[in-house]
Amino acid sequence: MQILNYTPEHEAFRKRLRAFIAREVTPNVAQWEKDGIEPRDIWQKMGRGGFLCTDLDPAYGGLGGDFLYSIIVTEELSYSFHTGLAAGLHSDVVVPYISAFGNDAQRQKYLPGCISGDIITAIAMTEPGAGSDLAGMSTTAQQEGDEVVINGSKTFISNGINADLVIVAAKDPAVENPYQALSLYIVETGTPGFERGRHLDKMGWRSQDTAELFFSRCRIPIANRLGEKGQGFLMLMQKLQQERLVCAVGAVTAAERIVEWVIDYCKNTTVCGRPLSKPQANQFSLVEMATDVKLGRAFMEKLVADHMEGHEIIIETSMAKYWTTEMARRVADRAMDLVGNEATLEKYPITRAWRDVRVMSIFAGTNEVMKGIAAKFMGL
């Protein structure tokens, strides 16, 4: 059953990207994992290859492609057993706030660099003590003349070390309603009062630079506000559907790759004179794992098609984010059990894959948050 219609141009793009990853990414992953960060030049190489912000208009240097190009980038990076290069976050989560809600001056200033990889982006929502709760956010933004002064802290910010530009969610303390108080602001690296804290040492996604960010009387021009004042919550709600869908794409592809790898391992590993794939219990496990990923693939692709047609699928993408990431965790756990002691050795990609899929149910809104959103929109 084919849900998404990929053209020859899409497939040529996928082939070119896969070759790029094999040449420029895979040989370097082990070192990047040790370093806890990817070098900036890999972003520039991605940009030169046309693999960043593929939906943006050619007037800015973009490909002008549809959302399927974004899906291909997320799938191919996930399929490579490397999740640290957060191109999907940059291209499909952060930059769309600028392209959709930025004014002409902001788009002209930032979008060409975002496409070329010379500007790396991050979005700062999560806070210590508030987590994914936007209403509980404490970072403030107060207007003083033609400037805005930001005070507060953010944590678990992906691309936090490399980022040249951070979109910061902050509220006006004079506005009582927390949803009407929220606005989004562009803060550039080097702005006085903006400092990076710890480069967080994580269990998984080790090469993805995740950091704490601090704002102490950080002054930015009022021209750096995205959209109208007080519209931050609405803007976030409009774009979070795509963020959750991108998470589901990554989770499904990671699970597919794990199943593919463990089936090959079981077929080619002999225990007591028999391949690991021959005992019936192992066969049943492998079949169940393969079934899970096929169900996830069908669910995810249907939502991609709906999203591309402009449908509001807040409930469904929340469901997909929690179900596909939990499915990927189940698949990774069972794969580890089938491989046994060998699965604990760093020489096998399944070890890194197991660490990396574990965090997918936490970032971009925990799965408990996803279930709560679905319940609310279902009227429960």
- Residue 110: CA count within 13 A, CB half-sphere: 29
Sign of CA dihedral 137, 157, 232, 93: negative
Contact 50, 124 (CB under 8 A): no
Residue among 75, 76, 127, 243 flagged as catalytic? 243
**What is d(CA 160, CA 195) in angstroms, rounded to the nearest whole number?**
10
Please give the C-alpha separations between residue 225 and each of 97, 160, 236, 239, 377, in angstroms, as whole numbers: 11, 20, 14, 17, 29
Tokens of 110: 């930032």
Based on its alpha-carbon atoms, the radius of gyration of the chain, rounded to whole angstroms, reads 21
Single-letter amino acid, residue 258: I
Q: What is the dihedral of CA 235, 111, 36, 16, to 10 degrees?
A: 110
- Grouping H, G, I as helix, E, B as strand and the rest as coil, residue 188 is strand
Shortest CA distance to 33 belongs to which of 67, 84, 71, 68?
Answer: 84
**What is d(CA 74, CA 300) in angstroms, rounded to the nearest whole number?**
13
Catalytic annotation on 243? yes
Single-letter amino acid, residue 206: R
Sign of CA dihedral 348, 351, 356, 361: positive
- Name 325's bridge partners: none
State the residue for tokens 């996604």.
205
Active site members:
243
